[in-house]
Amino acid sequence: MTINTKKVMKNAWRITKDRNLTCLRLRVPGGHLPVKLLPLIQEIAERFGNGEVHLTTRQGFEIPAIPFEHMKEINVLLVPFLEELEVNIGVLLEQPAQGYPAAGTRNVVACIGNKVCTNAVFDTTALAKDIEKIIYPNNPHVKIAVTGCPNDCVKVHMHDIGIIGQVEPLYDAQRCINCQACVKNCAKVSTGALSIVNYKVKRDASRCIGCGECVLKCPTGAWTRGGQYYRVVVMGRTGKKNPRLAAPFLEWAEREAVLRLCNNLYDYIDKHIDCSLPKEHVGYILDRTGYPVFREEMLKGVELGPKAKTANYLDFAGYTYDKKCLFD
Amino acid sequence: MGYRFTAAAFNQLLESLREKYRVYAPTLLKGKGKFSDTDLVGYAEISKIEDVVFNQKSYFSPKETFYPVTQRLFYFNENGFSESVVDEKGMIVFLRACDIQAVERLDKIMLENGPSADYYYERLRNKLKMIVMDCQESFDSCFCVSMGTNKTENYSASVRLENGVYLSDVKEDIEGLFAFHGETIEVSPKFVESNKQSVKVPENLVLESVAANPIWEEYGSRCIACGRCTVVCPSCSCYTMQDIFYDDNPKCGERRRVWASCQIDGFTDMAGGHSFRRNNGERMRFKVMHKIKDFKQRFGVHMCVGCGRCDNACPEYISLAHCIDRLGKEEAENRG
């Protein structure tokens, strides 16, 4: 058998431990799937695979145990899937009948967002789709995730770019009855940004993280929702050498700025990547260029908006897995 | 006298009324819902009849328009005090039959429940004119028919939207403007005659046996004492006083009156740290008994008007209607 493994993998098919079998990886940007596409997954798994499908950590599907010779035929079958989930949201695919044109840039994942969740401050799937439109197809190994609130259920802190919704709470003192539900709750579950002054609530903007808890707790509608903004955390990763949580890069950034930033990431990678490696993870590029270069290039041409702030430094929490120091 | 208005004619009427009145109605407040990207039907000043939401119940009741959440009563300094000034304009409020019945309940507490009327309530209440919005169909949580509050005669005018025109029955024409802008036609307001749910209010509740009922323990384990049920209630009237001394000059300040809630911590706090009804179930019992027993004992009508807003607002899905029914059933069983 002869196959070009690099082409196969770029086409979103895996090289697997079984020499004759591949595995198909399907993207679901934003993690929300019209169920009309499920029968197609079932059909491919039953006709070509082993009747099973794996639900990936990145909210996609992997259909295992497919003989390599069926790749071409299945790529054609996939057209409705790619039309619905990629082309219809504005992703440019030149030849949908040839399957996925790239696999390096991973599926953009999102928590369930304000379609369902009471905490989410915005529609996470909609933003994930807008990001997909900008970053796909692309080869660099990039992981982006979107979450509706600082609870970060989708674990954006393990991503190269993690986007966390923020809402600016608006306070109408006239409607406030001093029940203190917001103050007590903010101190308990959030950051203690609220206090009572003269029976009304004072918000310390330097502490407020825009979680929207005050709005949820307010019985009178004294707290309501203002603009939607985003905290952007960057360069989180798992991996062999130095797993770490993504560090806060921007806060109170506007939607357009976030999208532009995702675009700029690819220019930054292109400029600094170590081409001697088969692939280099962008986090390691940052380790080499340093934060000032990263910040300058990421923010090139970005209108941050009047409320946005940029981090003075990246405060990573992680560890270097130095076995000699740790265990010897 | 009945009148028919096109939208344009009604808007001219509103424009004329707005010279001397502020006109409040339930409107769609975009993005003002508790959850993100959700709206809220709440009271706001209107200038166009198209902005009035007829097909949904307002989340908050109309009481906030003439009985503000926060009301400055007077300002003081070391030499004396001066009364706050109220808006010169009158108020016209669009509201439902049950809401009008609730205004009558508020009047009883604020104007008739003591040796003198509540001055600060009265000075705004005297400015109020009510336009009843017909209820052509009952909303989900309504139980006005059970409470006998589904109809009213107490309004300046009625209004309903029917086949693209607005129909009003006018009992008290405001400055003759309805007659001036409208086209004469026979109109009688429409009120619902049945609700999707009905309750039977037990009329012989005895406090001691009600207090011993284990349902309050259950409700106490569910209720979070947030006070939403009282805040959205059109007949709840409790308030507290706040004296403020200005930061930059503590010799000056103001006294304001602010809504309070029997469900929220601090409501019964007394000197010495004593307080009653610490348990949420006890608080709910107190409220329910006021709504369907104590008020009627004093004033002859139930305080609850069956608008169902408390059911809609409760984040723990506690239903007052269901609670009343449970009390009724237990009473019947005990007697049987």
- Cβ contact, residue pair A123, B264, below 8 Å: no
Do the strands A144-147 and A109-110 form a parallel or antiparallel pair, or are they unpaired?
parallel
Nearest-angstrom CA–CA distance, B212 and A299: 67
ipTM confidence score:
0.95
Contacts of A151 in chain B (CB under 8 A): none
* Helix axes of A291-298 and A255-272: crossing angle, nearest 10 degrees: 130
Nearest to B60 among A199, A218, A221 (CB): A221
Q: Does B224 touch chain A (CB under 8 A)?
A: no
Is there a contact between A110 and A161 (Cβ–Cβ < 8 Å)? no
**Nearest partner of B243 among B74, B64, B63, B37, judged by Cα:** B74
Q: How far is B259 from chain A (nearest CA, A)?
A: 6
Nearest-angstrom CA–CA distance, A179 and A181: 6
| Burial (0-12, 13-18, 19+ Cβ within 10 Å), A281 | buried
Nearest-angstrom CA–CA distance, A119 and A207: 19
Q: What's the pLDDT at A205?
A: 96
DSSP summary character for residue B167: E
DSSP summary character for residue A105: B
DSSP summary character for residue B294: I
Give me the numbers of helices (H) and strands (E) for chain B, helices first please.
13, 12
Tokens 């608080």 found at = B283
B7: left (phi over 0), alpha (psi -120 to 50) or beta: alpha
Percent of chain B having pLDDT more than 70?
99
Q: What's the pLDDT at A245?
A: 97
Nearest-angstrom CA–CA distance, A319 and A198: 47
Domain range annotation of chain A? 5-98, 109-166+229-327
Third-level CATH fold of A5-98:
Sulfite Reductase Hemoprotein; domain 2 (3.90.480)
Q: Does B26 touch chain A (CB under 8 A)?
A: no
Nearest CA in chain A to B31: A225
Contacts of B231 in chain A (CB under 8 A): 177, 219-220
End-to-end C-alpha distance for chain A, whole angstroms: 47
Span B23-50, mean pLDDT? 98
Contacts of B258 in chain A (CB under 8 A): 176-178, 199
Tell whether the model's pLDDT for residue B336 goes beyond 60.
Answer: no
Strand partners for A317: A245
For the stretch B132-150, pLDDT in tens is 999 999 999 999 999 999 9
To test the contact with chain A by mutation, choose from B40, B64, B65, B70 the residue with the greatest count of A C-beta atoms within 10 A, namely B70
DSSP summary character for residue A177: -
Contacts of B242 in chain A (CB under 8 A): 178, 198-199
Contacts of B224 in chain A (CB under 8 A): none
* Helix axes of A282-289 and A255-272: crossing angle, nearest 10 degrees: 80
Residue B296 in tokens:
């009627």
Nearest-angstrom CA–CA distance, B327 and B178: 46
Nearest-angstrom CA–CA distance, A141 and A58: 14
Tell whether the model's pLDDT for residue B331 goes beyond 80.
Answer: no
Nearest-angstrom CA–CA distance, A314 and A190: 22
Tell whether the model's pLDDT for residue B335 goes beyond 70.
Answer: no
Nearest CA in chain B to A214: B34
- Report angle CA B58, B62, B66 to the nearest 5 degrees: 160
Q: Count of CB atoms within 10 A of residue B329's CB? A: 12
Q: What's the pLDDT at A50?
A: 97
Q: How far is B193 from chain A (nearest CA, A)?
A: 31
pLDDT, averaged across chain B: 96
Tell whether the model's pLDDT for residue B48 goes beyond 80.
Answer: yes
- Cβ contact, residue pair A174, B68, below 8 Å: yes
Contacts of B69 in chain A (CB under 8 A): 174-177, 220, 222
Q: Does B267 touch chain A (CB under 8 A)?
A: no
Nearest-angstrom CA–CA distance, B3 and B168: 5
Give me the numbers of helices (H) and strands (E) for chain A, helices first please.
11, 13
What's the helix, strand, coil split of chain B in %, to 5?
Answer: 35, 20, 45
**Sheet containing strand A247-253, strands side by side:** A109-110, A144-147, A161-171, A223-234, A247-253, A309-310
- Cβ contact, residue pair B69, A228, below 8 Å: no
Residue B52 in tokens:
């009035």
pLDDT in tens, chain A (328 residues): 899 999 999 999 999 999 999 999 999 999 999 999 999 999 999 999 999 999 999 999 999 999 999 999 999 999 999 999 999 999 999 999 999 999 999 999 999 999 999 999 999 999 999 999 999 999 999 999 999 999 999 999 999 999 999 999 999 999 999 999 999 999 999 999 999 999 999 999 999 999 999 999 999 999 999 999 999 999 999 988 899 999 999 999 999 999 999 999 999 999 999 999 888 999 999 999 999 999 999 999 999 989 999 999 999 999 988 888 889 8
Do the strands A21-26 and A54-55 form a parallel or antiparallel pair, or are they unpaired?
unpaired
Tokens 């984040």 found at = B315
Q: Does B215 touch chain A (CB under 8 A)?
A: no
Tell whether the model's pLDDT for residue B40 goes beyond 70.
Answer: yes
Lowest mean pLDDT among A75-84, B117-126, B325-334: B325-334
Nearest-angstrom CA–CA distance, A237 and B105: 63
Helix (H) or strand (E) holding A201: strand A200-203
The DSSP code sequence of A255-284 is HHHHHHHHHHHHHHHHHH--TTSS---HHH
To test the contact with chain B by mutation, choose from A225, A229, A230, A255 the residue with the greatest count of B C-beta atoms within 10 A, namely A225
Backbone angles phi, psi at A308, to 5 degrees: -70, 145
- Cβ contact, residue pair A176, B70, below 8 Å: yes
Beta-carbon contacts below 8 Å between A and B: 74
Q: Does B258 touch chain A (CB under 8 A)?
A: yes
Nearest-angstrom CA–CA distance, A138 and A266: 9
Contacts of B261 in chain A (CB under 8 A): 177, 179, 219
For the stretch B149-205, pLDDT in tens is 999 999 999 999 999 999 999 999 999 999 999 999 999 999 999 999 999 999 999
- Asked if the A109-166+229-327 domain carries CATH number 3.30.413.10, the reply is yes
Q: What's the pLDDT at A277?
A: 87
Nearest-angstrom CA–CA distance, A314 and A244: 12
What's the helix, strand, coil split of chain A in %, to 5?
Answer: 35, 20, 45
Q: Does B283 touch chain A (CB under 8 A)?
A: no
End-to-end C-alpha distance for chain B, whole angstroms: 51
